Amino acid sequence: MDRLLNIKGKKAVCAFTMIVMILITIAPLTAYATADPIRITVNQVFAAPDDAFTYKLKPLEKSNPMPEGSTSEGYTFTITGTGSAEIKLSGFSQQGLYQYELFQVIGTKKPGCTYDTCVYLIEIHVDMTLDPEVVLLNQQGEKEALITFENGFDITPSDPNLMVDPPVKKIVSGNPGYTTAFEFKLVAQDISYPMPISSIDGTKTIKIMGPGESKFGTWSYDKAGTYYYMVYEVNTGSSGYTYDTTVYTVTDMVREENGSLIVSRVVTNDLNKPVPDFTFINRFSEGKDGPKTGDDTDWALYTIMFAVGCVLLTGVMIYFIAGRKHIGRRQRNEDT
C-alpha cells in the first residue's frame, strides 16, 4: 500500500513539474501579446497644394497580424500633404518571419501629380524569445532606415498667348506742332514677379512718339497666387505739357485648374474702377511752348537777355543825350 502511494506521489510531482514548465513556456508568449505594438512610420513628401494620398499594407500570409481596421484586402490609410502616418502591429505570439508589402494606391491620377511607385517589403523577424526585429527593404532589396514616398506636382505654366495685354494709349490735347517722345513704365510690386522680355529689375519701359499706342508684352506664371503691378507715365519735362498722373494697378490672379495655371487679370485706375486699357491724356498749352522747331526752348534765358539788352540800350541813349546837352552849353558859353 505504501509502495502504491509512493508511486502515485511521484506521478503527481512529475505532473506538477510538467504543468509548471508549460506555464513557464507560455508566459512569455502571453506577456508579448499584451506588450506595446510594433510602430512603423510612413513618411510622405509632397511639395504642392495639400492633398491626401492613399497607401495600403498587405500581408504576404493571411495569418500575419494586422492593424486594427484592416480588411481582407489589407490595411489602408491616407497622408495629407507633407506628413506621416503610423502603422501599429501586435500579436506576434510565435517565432518566425512575417512579411508585408507597403505601396501607394494609385487610382484616378490627380491632374499635374506624379506618384512614387515604390513597393516596400517589411520583414518582422521574431526569435525564440519573441523579440521582434523590423527590417525595411526597398524595391531593389536594399535596406532602408525610413519609409518615404515622394510625390510631385508637375504643373503646366500659364500660356502667355492667352494673357490679356491691354494697350498703353497716349492722347495729346492741343496742337504742339511737333512730335514728342512719351515714356511709360510697368513696375512689379515684387522684383521676383514674372515680367515681359526686356525688363530690368522688375521694371519694363516703353516709349510712344506723340499720340499713339503700344504694349508692354506678356509673360508666363509657374506658381499659383496673386500678383500686383502698376503702370504710369514718366514726367520727362517736355515744355508746354501737363502730364497725366494716373497710376493704374494690374492684378493677376493665378489659379491651378486641371494641372495648368490660368490667369485672370483685372486693371483698375486711380478710382479703383476696372478699365480696358492704360489711357494717358497730356495737355499742351501754346503759351508754355517755345519755337516749333522740335526743341524745347529755355525762355527764361531769352527773357533775361532781353532785359539786359533793354538796360544797356537805355544807358547808351542817356549817355548820348547827356553828351549833347554838355556840348550845347559849351558852345553858348564861347559865343558870349
Q: CATH number of the domain at 58, please.
A: 2.60.40.3050
Can you give the residue range of the structural domain that contains 83? Answer: 35-153
Tens digits of per-residue pLDDT, 93-144?
999 999 999 999 998 887 778 899 999 999 999 999 999 999 999 999 999 9
For residue 274, what is its C-alpha cell?
476696372
Q: What is the SS3 assignment for 107?
A: coil
Same domain, yes or no, for 41 and 83? yes
Whether residue 307 lies inside any domain: the answer is no
Same domain, yes or no, for 209 and 258? yes
Whether residue 298 lies inside any domain: the answer is no
Same domain, yes or no, for 173 and 277? yes
Number of independent structural domains in the chain: 2
> In the structure, what pLDDT confidence band is assigned to residue 34 with cuts at 50, 70 and 90?
very low
d(CA 290, CA 298): 7
In b/e form, how buried is each residue of 88-106, taking b as 16+ CB within 10 angstroms? ebbebeeeeebbbebbbee
Q: Please check the confidence at residue 333 and state whether its pLDDT lies above 90.
A: no
pTM exceeds 0.85 = no
d(CA 312, CA 155): 80
The predicted model gives 318-331 an average pLDDT of 62
* Domain end call among 153, 178, 202: 153
Whether residue 108 lies inside any domain: the answer is yes
Give the mean pLDDT of the chain: 85
pLDDT value of residue 51: 82
Whether residue 280 lies inside any domain: the answer is yes
d(CA 176, CA 297): 13
Q: What are the two backbone dihedrals, phi and then psi, of residue 228, each rounded to the nearest 5 degrees?
A: -120, 140
d(CA 316, CA 322): 10
* Domain end call among 94, 127, 153: 153
Q: Is the dihedral of CA 220, 222, 225, 230 positive or negative?
A: negative
In b/e form, how buried is each residue of 164-198, taking b as 16+ CB within 10 angstroms? eebebbbebeeebeeebebebebbbeeeebbbbee
d(CA 244, CA 242): 7
Please answer whether residues 130 and 29 qualify as being in contact, where contact means their C-beta atoms are separated by less than 8 angstroms: yes
> In the structure, what pLDDT confidence band is assigned to residue 19 with cuts at 50, 70 and 90?
low
Percent of the chain with pLDDT over 90: 64
Same domain, yes or no, for 143 and 40? yes
Tens digits of per-residue pLDDT, 264-313?
999 999 999 999 999 999 999 976 544 444 444 454 555 666 666 666 77
Same domain, yes or no, for 52 and 102? yes
* Domain end call among 103, 134, 153: 153
